[in-house]
Every structure is written in C-alpha cells, then in structure tokens.
Amino acid sequence: MSELVYDYVIIGSGFGGAVSALRLSEKDYKVLVIEKGKRYSSNDFPKTNWHLKKWLWLPSFRLFGIMKMTFFRHIGILSGVGVGGGSLVYANTLAKPKKVFYQSGSWAKLADWESELEPFYKMASTMLGAVTNPNLELGDQYLHKLAVEQQREIHFEPTKVSVFFGEADITVSDPYFEGKGPERAGCNQCGGCMTGCRYNAKNTLDKNYLYLAEKNGVEILAEQEVIDITEKSADGSNQYEVTYRDSTKLFKRKTKISAKGVVFAGGVLGTVKLLVKLKSSSLPNLSDQVGKDVRTNNEGLIFSVSANKEKDFSKGIAIGSIYHPNENTHIEPVRYAKGSGFWRLGMLPFVIGSNTFSRLFKIMIEFLTKPFMYFKLYTVKDFAKQSIVLLFMQHIDSTLSLNKGLFRLKSKVTSGQKPTAFIPKAKAIVEQYNQISGGKSFVYVSESIFNIPSTAHILGGAVMGDTIHNGVIDKDNKVFGYEHMYICDGSAISANPGVNPSLTITAISERAMSKVPQNKI
C-alpha cells in the first residue's frame, strides 16, 4: 500500500484526461494520470491492422494494442486505448457541431453553450494543431462529385484535422509551442492514421497536452486500471483512496494511493463502467442517472469496395472531407493504409431487411446471382487500397442506458428509436456514391446479421443536469454528491453532436478545468 498523496488522480489519458492533466499542473496541483493501455512511440505502432498484438486491445488473448471493440445488444463500439487515449486511433477530425447540439439534451438550459464554448473551441483547436486538410484524394473527390450531383456543392468541405502538414517525412523542431513541444515530421499521406501514426505527423495527445503536462511534473502511470475509489474524509484532506491494478500482467498486483480529488476521463466504456460499479458499492451518493442518456451519434459504417486494382483509396489522411446532404446528416470517407485489410474478414453485402432471415435470404440471392463479381471483391489483393469506409452520422436523437449486468454492462433502449444498422438514407447515398466510384457496399457481419450498428463515437452516461435528479454532473463537470470530483470525457457529452466529437470533448474539458481554482500551496 502506497503512502503517496496527490492533489488529483486522473483516470484515463484521452482528450478530457490530457486537458485536465495539463491545466491542473499549470495551477500547481500534484497530478497522477492512470492509463489502462500501453505507452506507444511512433516506432511502436503496427504497420497494418493485421498486426493484432499492437492494434487490437483484447487482454484475454494477450493483445495489448490501441483499439478496442466492444459489443452490446444494441451497439458495437470502437474505442482507443493507450497513453493518449482515442487520439492514438482516431481519424484526426476536429469538427464543430451544428446549432441544434447546443440546444438539446439534458444540458440545453444550463448555459448559452454555443457562445460559452466558443473561446474553448479556439483554445482546443490551437492546442491540437487544427488545420484544413490541403489534399483531397480519390475518396474525397468522389464525395465532391456526389455533392455536385445533388446540387449541394457548397455543403462539401475539406475537414479540419489534427495533423502537421510540413514537408513529407522531414523532421523539424516543434512548430506549435515555441520550442517547448517535441520535434515533428511532415505528413506523407500514407492513410495510416487509425493504426497509429508511424511518421510523427499526427498531433496525438502525447505530443501536446500530455507532453507539456509531463514537463510540468505530471506523472503518467501506464498499464494500470482503477478498480475502486473510496471516500476517506469529508474535510478535503486526502479525501479519496484510489485502488488500481495491473492491466497487462497475468498476476494483477493491487496498489492504493490517496488523492484530494479525482477526474474521471476513461471514456464512456471506462468511466461509466466504473461509476456503475462504484454507485452500488463505495460511492453510493452518485446520481441515479449514472449510465443513462448514452448516445451513439446515430452512425453507420459502410464499406465501398472496388474490384478495380488501379484505384488507390488509401492515399491521404484518414478523413479528408465531409459532406452534409441535409441539415441532420453528415458523411465522411474514411481510409486505411495499404495492407490494412483486417476488416475484410467480417464483410457481407449491405442489404436491408426487417429481420435476420430476410437479410440472410437477400445476401444469399446476392451471392447466387453475382458470384463472379463477389469473388473478385472478396479476393482483391489489397483490401484497404481498393476500399473506402463511408462514415454516416446524424443529429437525430435516441438514447440507451448502460446498466449493471451479471458479468458486464448491458444496454437498454430508453428513448427514441432503437439504433439500427439499416438507415435507408445512408443506403441511398452510398449507392449513389458507388455509381460514381464503381464500388459495391458491404457492412460488418454484426450489422448485416444481427442489426447491431457500429459507432466510433459513443457518448453520454454521465451527463449534465441542474440537479442530481437529472444529471450526474453540473454544468462545470463537477460530480453531484462529492467534492473535488469531475468527469471530463465523452460520457459527459449531454446531447448528440452528429459529428466527430473529439474537439467538443476537448473544449468542454478546457472549460471545466478553467473553473478549478489555483492551488493554494
């Protein structure tokens, strides 16, 4: 049992955890960050997503990579693991939501969020090195043609991304923080952003917030998982005892430390899972709203695969453009680097049917009527080179709850329509895209057979409210019922942004940490 005492222990090192670490250290707090995943440098990342040991997080199979897949009854979730959290595996995209985001959900009446967050969006964009993508590659060009055909060209735009576009592969001194940050190298457009940038061009959190935080004295403890938090005293001194254990070793040693405050920043899957456990044990005063108002961003992930081996969809950054076919819908073409064909293992033709049997029948008909076409598509030499993933997102709102099950969390629909992998609007738009690109639509087996949609942007579960009866945290991200306790990650997002949420998580966390007073040493 350790006698170490910290002012704040931060659980998780993703966007919210990284912001919290830097800003608390700037206010002279002694900070420890505990991260379940490994610490990766540029040279450690896998060359392709076939290198499962470094790409996939599946500890029961001794796989300790940067991406985790979690399946519930109603949703399949892709998330990031490692020092830097989701920034290691996300597609660099820094999008701001439309106005409806600020005016809906449990937080809507707590502040004028659009104006309240504006300076923090600017701060987050600066810290993350947000710039407009200068290169529209093949998948982006096809999306632009689609926008033109639909007479909505003005609603197509290059993405704002967290990438250093210097001279390709040329290393330069820190271009962002007046020499206080690490050296960087120019992006070479390899498309490997989501398997971990091996060329030091992606502005992951270990190259900005976490890097600067460590220079300020913040300690980052990797390969450890927090399993319990107990309240020690109510006078603010050594208020919490935090228990953590090894996350990558067979024999899991437990350690306990003391902290005056705690910041939950493990993302929905980390934070909500832990809060649900603590609510029924050591922190019973947590709100009954824990695990509620979980949102999926109403997403669809649809592969467009071409049999034309001359086409190269892999060149560029992970997401280079975005198109808004209507005010509620957003589409982005997503690419992987050459050789990253792991997803081909679970692909089935994209068909729409009211039940599993009708979909299986339609898939069988597809194979029987077009055997040679599907043979060509399934045997393409380089799946990533000849395919693009169309990420379909909507503002349309529906919510789930994540509740304590027998062995793990379980999902339940609480409002709106049940999440579905079969969105007619998405299929219609993708088919039009395919007419331009010459591709054919596929979805993952969990979607085609079981109608379990996938999302890389799970949100909510510890949302804002004006009281403990309708929220887990207040408008400043403080946890109701406990002192010096905050939640700064995707679980605190209290409405459906309808776009990539990383910038919003960063901005809200910046605002929350701005409310923490300077430490009186």
Q: What is the pLDDT of residues 465-487, one digit of tens each?
A: 999 999 999 999 999 999 999 99
Q: Is the model's pLDDT at 262 over the cut of 90?
A: yes
DSSP string, 27-60: TT--EEEE-SS----GGGS-SSTT-HHHHBEEGG
| 324 is a catalytic site residue | no
Task: Determine, yes or no, domain membership for 382.
Answer: yes
In this prediction, residue 237 carries a pLDDT of 65
Residue 252: inside a domain: yes
Whether residue 134 is contained in a domain is answered as yes
Whether residue 432 is contained in a domain is answered as yes
220 in any annotated domain? yes
Q: Which residues of 10-26 are buried (b: 16+ CB within 10 A; e: fewer)?
A: bbbbbbbbbbbbbbbbe
Q: What is the mean pLDDT of residues 98-115?
A: 94
Q: What is the mean pLDDT of the chain?
A: 94
Least confident of 140-144, 329-333, 414-418: 414-418
In sequence order, what are the beta bridge partners of 34? Answer: 11, 221
Q: Which DSSP string do the residues of 194-234 spell out, in sequence order? A: GG--TTS-B--GGGTHHHHHHHTT-EEE-SEEEEEEEE--S
Confidence of residue 520 (pLDDT cuts 50, 70, 90): confident
| Catalytic member of 74, 330, 457, 469 | 457
Residue 236 belongs to what domain range? 5-514
Domain assignment present for residue 440? The answer is: yes
CATH number of the domain bearing residue 29: 3.50.50.60
Total structural domains within the chain: 1
| Average pLDDT score over residue span 361-367 | 95
User: Looking at the predicted structure, is the pLDDT value of residue 1 above 60?
Assistant: no
Any bridge partners for residue 77, and if so which? 70, 455
Name the residue among 63, 39, 9 with its Cα closest to residue 227: 9
Q: Is residue 467 in a domain?
A: yes
pLDDT per residue as tens digits for the range 399-446? 899 998 888 899 998 877 777 777 788 888 999 999 999 999 999 998
Q: Would 521 be classed as within a structural domain? A: no
**Residue 353 tokens, joined:** 């049917």
Among candidate residues 300, 294, 351, 352, the one with its CA nearest the CA of residue 330: 300
Question: Which run of H or E residues covers position 377?
Answer: helix 371-378
**459, 460, 466, 472 alpha-carbon torsion, rounded to 10°:** -140
The DSSP-derived string for 433-486 is HHHHHT-EEEEEHHHHTT---EES--EESS-B-SSTTT-SB-TTSBBTTSTTEE
Among 206, 105, 183, 180, CA closest to 415: 105
Rounded to an integer, the average pLDDT of 287-305 is 91
